[in-house]
Amino acid sequence: GQQVMQIPQYQHVQEGEDFTTYCNSSTTLSNIQWYKQRPGGHPVFLIQLVKSGEVKKQKRLTFQFGEAKKNSSLHITATQTTDVGTYFCAGHDGGATNKLIFGTGTLLAVQP
Amino acid sequence: DAGVTQSPTHLIKTRGQHVTLRCSPISGHKSVSWYQQVLGQGPQFIFQYYEKEERGRGNFPDRFSARQFPNYSSELNVNALLLGDSALYLCASSLERLGGRRTFGSGTRLTVV
């Protein structure tokens, strides 16, 4: 079945450093979404990317969808303590079903 | 507007018992999805319902079932509970049948002892 892997599993940075998480799918995706889950919380939608090679920015966050629509990345510039949490990518395979398959997640810890 | 509401928030059950979890989507959302999240892992897709019909099913045993009501609320049922069913069960609603952002509820924390 479809698998979505993320690396790294865990990243510890000093406040102000940059952070990147990478997402790779075993199959081509129709779109990819990113979610953030704070410790003890639930996933919160960040963004959706649909087009091959698409790049979107939200303040310090930059999201990219690969040309082959099988990979994606999230880059955070100058991390802040409020960025702490687990970042998940989630992809639709474009089939008739509405399966949104979540990646394995990257836990970001930010030291003040 | 109210977000996605789930009940109960916490639940403790004994092995072999049955459990029913409930979810009310955002007003106007016709699609409800259920996910299981084990500690330290990503949410695993269980079911998706749209307009009261099952539209997607993940790799879960037949002990797991769900339904959606005319008001678009949903129930997830799990029979013959196992210790491994202990997890956070998340409900998410969305506008579209296919694709679209998911808005998650706060989840039901199920512990099977």
The pLDDT tens digits of the residues spanning A72-81 come to 999 999 999 9
Helix (H/G/I), strand (E/B), else coil: B103: strand
**Separation CA B113–CA B106 (nearest Å):** 22
Interface A-B, measured as beta-carbon pairs within 8 A, has a size of 61
pLDDT at site A98: 65
HEC-encoded secondary structure of B68-85:
ECCCCCEEEEECCCCHHH
pLDDT at site A65: 97
Subunit contact B45:A103, Cβ cutoff 8 A: no
Subunit contact B31:A42, Cβ cutoff 8 A: no
C-alpha distance from A23 to closest chain B C-alpha (Å) = 13
pLDDT at site B96: 77
**Strand ranges (DSSP E) for A26-67?**
31-37, 44-49, 55-58, 61-65
Closest in A41, A45, A48 to B103, CB measured: A45
Contacts of A56 in chain B (CB under 8 A): none
The pLDDT tens digits of the residues spanning B50-99 come to 989 998 899 999 999 999 999 999 999 999 999 999 999 999 999 876 67
pLDDT at site A99: 81
The one-letter code for the residue type at A44 is: V
